[in-house]
Structure 1
Amino acid sequence: MKKIGKLLLVCAVLLHGVAFGQNATLTASCSKTTVGLNEPFRITFTTNTRKGTITPPSFDKFIVVSGPYQSSQTQIINGRMSSQRSIAYEIVAQEEGVFTLPPAKMKVSGQELESNRLKITVKAGAKRNNRAERKAKESFNVRILASKKSVYVGEPIVLKFRATLFDPVRDLSIIQAPNFENVLQQQLEFKQESTREVVGNKMATVLDFDKRLILPNKPGTLGGQELKISGQVQVPTGRRDFFNMPLTKFVPQVATAKIPAVKIKPLPEGAPEDFQGGVGELKLVREISRKEVSGSESITIKLRVEGAGNFNTLEVPELIQPEGFDVYDPKYNENIRYSERGIRGYKEYEYLLVPQYRGSFIVPEMQWSYFNTRTERYETISIAADTLNVENPALSGVQENSDLEGAVKREVKTIDDDIRYLQDHRFEAEGKSNLYPWTLALLVLAGLLWLWQFAPERRQGQKVNWKKSQLKIVQKAFDAQEEQRYGTMLNALEFALVKKGIHLEQVRLEALENVYDTPTANRILRLIEHCNMAQYAPIAASENVHHLTEFEEVWEQI
């Protein structure tokens, strides 16, 4: 057994030396040196070493239809081992001419190898000698259909890619996407559907395999480009199997299609002064959560543009702010969908208003203009003024004849009828007191208290349940409707999180998920957000019960 093991080791060393001792080479080859326009052919790069990575050249003037395809093999013949690796691409020429393909490169053991260059001739009328290739050429064609022949700037167009298949075809794909300037391009999601029709006295399958939404931003003419679409066509090989059934194979094929010309018209002259570029069938909506507030309540105003239009460039107008309120930075919301009907959805700003004075205040009238593509004219939407009434007795009222343009004047309230004047002379103490003994005693007492905290716990059996005590503090604050009840809740949450090693200023969803499950982490974040918001915008009394219940449920899981 030892002799056999030594013999195998010697053979392995010899084979290794033979395999890697030979000179490494890198060669390039192609299936055809003369090809026709849109005729796929294969470029292969081969090396005889298992080391290094083959870097293909830049395929300028060509389009890669498919690939790379990698293969490797190892052979042992008469005790000699050889290996071979290859990488291949299916490519197609974009124009006629004679082209030289640069060499591929590979680095092996510090040495850089280069392959040979390939000279390829592209002719429009090159003949196909292979019967299978001639049949593949006639197997399918592609048309591009535009939903409209002329549109305005900002009006969408849908391009539909329709293939007519006379033979089985798979893996249809656009290998050269439309390249437009100043255009939004969005591929649409849809379910492919096919129908059987008679085309040129032949039965064919008509398949819509791709749809693109195009939104032009500048006037001019769109289209005229020729795109290339690849597919794998099933063709017979001319041979039969054991049961005398014809054998087939899939070969790559490229078809071309031209984008129809679409005229992009500029918007008409005479746009209103407040026109900001909105195009489509749009609406401007202003929603006010409540128009009368009492107690410590806030108001939410949503300003929304909705409908169908150029939402990619459309801007929501800003709210004309009413006087008498603190208006916080708006929250932005959007829901935009792309479909064959265009771009639909909405964009909105959500404003939070906190009343600062008692009285009636006006939300001014608003006007917003857009271009209606259905009526082909500019239209102006007007929103009437609204009145907000604040009846909070805790707030100051507004003096009459005050337009609130500057600082709003508050009512001057008499604090105490007994106050008549303020003394302006200096106050002198009638006698002198010696505070030194008292100060010394207080310092000694503070020192003893500081040392007491390091003393061992005397009653270890009576451990205080901090969760219950914190919960009782929060419940008591909410039952008594304390002004700082949400601050008390925030302090309790911070106390619990610190025990878990999470500081409040470091609270993130990722940090919470390391300690709690995702639903609990999200509920904790929402509670912290409500507590912070309550410090700036008073919360309605009806929401207190909901927030306290939420806190109690989360507290059980914290």
Structure 2
Amino acid sequence: MKRFILHIIIFILISFNFTLKGQVSFDAILEQKEVSINQLFSITFQLKLDNRTYEIDDIHYPDFSSFDLVGNSNSTQSNLKSSTISKTFTFRALKKGTFKIEEASITVDGKIYKTKTTQIKITGKSNQPKTSKKQNIPQRGEVLTNETSKNTKLLVTASNLSPYAGEQVLISLHILSKDYNVLHRIRESKANRFKNFTAIDYPVKRTAIQEENYQGSLFYSQLITQKIIVPQQVGKISLEPFQLEFPFLIKTNQRDFFGRPVNQYIWVKLDSNELIFNVKPLPSTGKPSNFSGAVGNFNLNVFSNKNNINAGESVEFDVEISGKGDFKMVTIPKLSLPDELEVYEPNTRESITLTKEGHKGKISKNYVVVPQYKGNYEIPTLEFSYFNPTTGKYETKTSQKTTLNVINGPEKPIQDQTDSITKKQSEINSSPTTNTQDELFLRPLKQTLTSYNPILSPITIWMIIIGSVLFVPLLFGFLALLKKQKKNHKTSKPKESSKKHLANAKKHLARNESLFFYDAIEKTIYYTLSERLNITTSNYNLSTIKTLLQEQSISEEKINQVEEILNACSFQKYAPTNSTHSMETIYQKTIHFINTLKN
């Protein structure tokens, strides 16, 4: 009898053990069956297993394109008998109607498990409690303004909102946020076209983050960029707002395994405030006849390196405009000298720097003058007119009178003795005392040097011809070799770097290190494109890459692949899911993109 009871107990335990080993379930849990437009709702896919080793593959979720994905989270719970793995998606209801949520599937130990289909009804009227309106949650990609964005502001300021036409103005762009982390994650959304303005970048480094009181609230503030702009029209003209993207922190109404609230970041766009300029026209009264359009505050000076020289020697005159303002509109007055002075084509020299007050520096024309006769020559005064926006008046600067004293040299010929003039000029040109090395180098092009006409021997001519025939192919071959070496040197580094970062991505994928994995994928895309697009770190952003790809006639399919990969990397870096399946998908898409780009 005891042996019979023992057999029954053993049979019951074995049956119970086999029953436990078969416990696998996969369910979809929809918390709310009816929601309103713009209301958040969640659906959880829950896999329950007993405590033994399983091989899990190929999980497929239904199509959620009818909703706006706000975020997702993972959780795992386990005890001595079983484990529960959950993945929760949070969506925003977009449009009215009844929507069917198809089944999801997962493969466990080679067997496919499916959830049941369900449906959700979205009504036109809001069922949200009043407290949920306070969060004011935007949609992904939504464009916010400083009025609708409560915790992050984008402010642009100008040094002068009432400038004159042509006057330089400094504008500064600051970002303010109550979330310190936002300031490190902003990115450019679109470039400002500066319609009705010309704009020049003012080189500025990102300043340290500071605390600033804005409208009674404390914000973290940082200077992003500064530019010098010049209005090209008069009247009231507006500067279109700047636009950046930043991660917006939202609450998902979900909690993790420890009961803590789960928050997510979504990327939204933010417009700066709009600046309205009242551009004043330049006055028509009192405008000098020699006014060229220069606006600023300038000075005029004429310098010479010598005051006393001999005939046949050279002297340099510099006509210089210095000060601050728009140097592009500056026209340097021409230096008019007596006919007895040979004047050569002047060279232009510039030394201009960009400051917060606009351009500062000087621009000048350098004249080389060679007197032919002795005597005292008066250098006439010059005038330069400009408009001074500080005083609101036209101003004219006049140079000082100077005299050039030619001490030694032939006498100036009498005007009516033309033959004598020609003879004396010939004597001066042939005189060993006046034909100095400087004079020969600076002799005007209008003089014909008929006295220098060497005759080459036939042998010399043939040697020159043969040497030229042999030298030209060698020169072209050498240049082609240099070009090839430069190209190989230029292309070798990005290829090597892209392979290196792709290998790092594969290593981090195997270790399930999501943060390092997505960083390596970003660098792989960058080094793959850098060879073809010549992208540098300073302009590495998605909008720039898309523009350059379009300019090089890259197909829309490849552009969409790059955008999908980089957006996925950005989202996962700031809202990580630690999903091995997502990482594997991004890795395969990256390899596919690199292979198609090479083809």
TM-score by length of 2: 0.45
More helix by share: 2
TM-score by length of 1: 0.47
